[in-house]
Amino acid sequence: MKKINFAIVSCLLAAALLVPACSRPQAAAQPVVGEAPVQPAAILPEKTEALAAPADEPVIAPVAATETPITHKTLPGMPAYQQHLPGECNTGFNYQPVGYQVRPPCDIWHTSLFERAVSADMGTFYHYLDILSAQIGKEGDWYYASLDLFGAGVPTDGALLTYFFELDFNQDGRGDVLLAVENLDLYATEWTVSGVRAWRDLNGDVGGETPIRPDSQGGDGYETLVFDQGLGDDPDLAWARRDPNRYQRIEFAFKPVLLSGNGSFMWWGGAMRGNFDPAVFDLVDANTEKMLYEIDTTCGWIFGHEKAYNVRKCYIAPNPTPKPKEDICIKPPHPDPQNNCWIWFPDKCKWECWN
């Protein structure tokens, strides 16, 4: 008698009763023609120790992708400025289409000071790059910063246009925060986050080995994006606009959290045509003197108290030491015109009688 395989019989009975006791492994699902394969969700890196900060200082995390609609809760108010740069060279007042040259002290390559609101061949002047002055201040819960330009305008050739500020907390010449707005509309007189971004340098290598000065040991610049047009920990962190009464004034507003608890800092501004890459700051490290044009930057100034001196600070010519006033000698009348003994001595400022 043949032996009965009870396992097979059990499976046959289970199948007849529609009981999934011996179901086969399912074949892998085949992609549908015409549909893109589903990509795995992006895995965000964990926060590194570089993001750590003292307990009393706020920390801004890098921007993470999100599908949640951006909702704004707070808007900046009316800007107030308590501090103005003491001086800024103005290309527009000196530019000539023929024979114009970029010269110090307005343009000093080895201290990252650019006065180059012109094309490389000096044949075109960009009035919307030429910075006439810059301001910064604090009002209520907002900091404000602005650039006054020679004229309002935007490129007509499709070039990118970026206005920016760098903030240096320990005042050593290395910027810690880069705040920028790209392609701000000519009529953007309302506060907007469009084109507004902010970066942090968490590993302290902006400028390479020697900040401000050119060297071949550049770092990775401002490597951490903390605000991207409303994306970030706070969708209201930073804004930009044009002054409704002066279209050539570019205004920024940002919250104190961007300063990571620092109430004093050095600041400077800039305007640039073309590719704007936060990873190549300081710009003198990634460019040569003959290739970097269509840019204007300001010298630096201190908001709050000065912690340390660095060469980025604006130079102010000292007032000449006043000379002591010389005594003015007024010759008195002759003591006795009838007596010839009297002689006038100008160096002594007096008459003397010599017999």
Determine the pLDDT at residue 58. Answer: 63
76 contacts: CB under 8 Å, gap ≥ 6: 142, 144, 191, 239, 253
pLDDT of 28 reads 36
Prediction pTM value: 0.73
| List of residues 6+ apart from 104 with CB closer than 8 A | none
Q: Please give the pLDDT value at position 37.
A: 33
Q: Token pair for residue 277? A: 């890459």
pLDDT at 322: 60
The single residue listed with the structure tokens 């343009």 is 107
Return the pLDDT at 25.
Answer: 37
Q: Which of 121, 107, 68, 349 is nearest to 233 (CA)?
A: 68
pLDDT for 20 equals: 40
Q: For the chain, which ranges sit under pLDDT 50?
A: 1-55
- Mean of all residue pLDDT scores within the chain: 82
Query: What pLDDT score was predicted for residue 323?
Result: 58
Classify the C-alpha dihedral 127-129-133-136 as positive or negative: positive
What's residue 194's pLDDT? 97
* pLDDT value of position 35: 33
Task: Identify whether the C-beta of residue 126 lies closer than 8 Å to the C-beta of residue 150.
Answer: no
pLDDT for the residue 26: 40
